[in-house]
Amino acid sequence: MATFIGYNTIGATKNYVLTDFELIKRDLLNFFNIRQGEMPGRPSYGTRIWALLFEPQNEETTQILQDEIQRGIDIDPRLRLDSLDVYPQNNGILIEVAVSTVTGVGPETLLIFFDEQNRVARLV
pLDDT tens digit string along 106-124?
Answer: 788 999 999 988 999 999 9
pLDDT at 1: 45
Residue scoring higher pLDDT (3 or 109): 109
Segment 52-96, tens digit of pLDDT: 888 888 899 999 999 999 999 999 888 999 999 999 888 889 999
User: Could you give the domains of the chain?
Assistant: 5-123 (3.10.450.40)
In contact, 1 and 94? CB cutoff 8 Å: no
Give yes or no for residue 15 having a pLDDT over 90: no
Q: What's the CA gap between 22 and 113, in Å, rounded? A: 17
User: 3-class DSSP state for residue 74?
Assistant: helix
